[in-house]
Structure 1
Amino acid sequence: MPAAERMTITMPSDMAETLCQTVAGGEYASTNEIVREALRDWTRSRDAELRDLEALRSAIKAGLDSGLGIPAGQVFAELRARYTDKS
């Protein structure tokens, strides 16, 4: 296990009370355990967001690198011309 570093955190009293009640209810052995689990969840969520952001940046770059696009108005005009009933 990595070395532990002692930190002091400040939180609203209602959150602190929720932590204490959860420990008293036996769900966790200590408030530290709850905070560590919350931080692990936050880290996983943050890592997933960063991966999604990188994938989005890659997709944008691929789009930009693919060359000039066609203006939407031109595309829709061509579609209307192609599929409009000319009878």
Structure 2
Amino acid sequence: MKAQAMRTLTVSLTPQQAARIQSAIDSGGYASNSEIVREALRLWEQREEVRLLELEQLKRAYDQGKASGEGEDVDPVVFLNGLKADRSARG
């Protein structure tokens, strides 16, 4: 596999962030600043992917709800009392 050319970027960090990165390198957890930033970006990409999947799932659930027909009014007190009674009946 051919190595991709790396691009250099300038990133501004707070003193606490810079110290945390240096500490991770000094402790041997990471070899370089770049390694830490690349891992952080991989984690961010994963989080974004999960967020998009969750959003799609919510959109599908919304569409299914809309397609299921007209809703009905529910008295919250009566509804909660019914749930409590069901739970008590199951033990």
* TM-score (normalised: structure 1): 0.76
State which structure, 1 or 2, has the greater radius of gyration over its C-alpha atoms.
1
Match of 2:16 in 1: 14
Q: Distance in 1 between matches of 2:26 and 2:7?
A: 25
Residues 35-69 of structure 1: CA deviation (Å, up to 9, x unaligned): 10011011101110111111011101110012112
Return 5+ residue gaps in structure 1 as ranges. Answer: 81-87
Runs of 4+ in 1 over 4 A off after TM superposition: none
Of 30, 33, 36, which aligns to 2:32?
A: 30
Number of aligned pairs?
A: 76
Tell me the CA shift for residue 4 of structure 1: 2.1
* TM-score (normalised: structure 2): 0.73
Q: Distance in 1 between matches of 2:33 and 2:14?
A: 14
Return 5+ residue gaps in structure 2 as ranges. Answer: 83-91
